[in-house]
Amino acid sequence: MGACGLGALFAGGCASTAVTAVGPSRELVLAYDDARATSPVAFPSDSYESVVRFQLPDGEHRPLRLRFAVEAAGSVEINIYGSTLLETPGDPIRTLRCELSKEDVSDGRDGRWVVEDLVDLQPIKGVVWVGVHKIGGAPSIWASGVVSGQAFVRNNDPTNPMGLLPTKHTPMIRLELAP
């Protein structure tokens, strides 16, 4: 009885156990830039928005993170939008407000990214849009010289609205998903 009781104690009495990986995890990293910062995206007004269109692979995907490269400090608002039937930014799925400090600033070559956690979002599919605009200071984000066809600017000023206009540079914004 002593050996069985001791065996039961060892089998069920451990306070911690080693965690082993079940298998490789997979992530999709969506980006349209070439990871070479060439110019900043500045925001001349609070209503000016830089927008990137992301076409997700087929099926639903769980958002994980959003990364962007900061060129100058300030306050920004980032909106992740659904898409309308006309493939324009629809209603916001999530709004993030970021205070970007000098510690967040990258020289465009140092690999520094600001990372926003999105794990609490519901799965998404189809097309989503990521828009960035300033809410304070003089922030800017890095862009590459790639003409992706997925980068746009617009003015959300209700007195002087401007629809989506394609740009000749692509903001360095990455959307990370779990398939």
- In this structure, are residues 29 and 35 in contact, taking their beta carbons and an 8 Å threshold? no
- CATH topology for 26-145+155-178 is Jelly Rolls (2.60.120)
Spell out the residues 6+ positions from residue 125 whose beta carbon is closer than 8 angstroms to its own: 56, 58, 59, 60, 61
pLDDT in tens, 145-172: 999 999 999 998 878 777 899 999 999 9
Segment among 12-21, 39-48, 98-107, 108-117 with least mean pLDDT: 12-21
Q: Is the pTM value of this prediction over 0.85?
A: no
**119, two tokens:** 């794990």
Task: Locate the domains of the chain by residue range.
Answer: 26-145+155-178
Quote the pLDDT of residue 22.
67
Instruction: Give the confidence band of 17 by pLDDT, cuts at 50, 70, 90.
Output: low
Average of pLDDT values for 85-114?
95
- Average pLDDT over the chain, rounded to an integer: 88
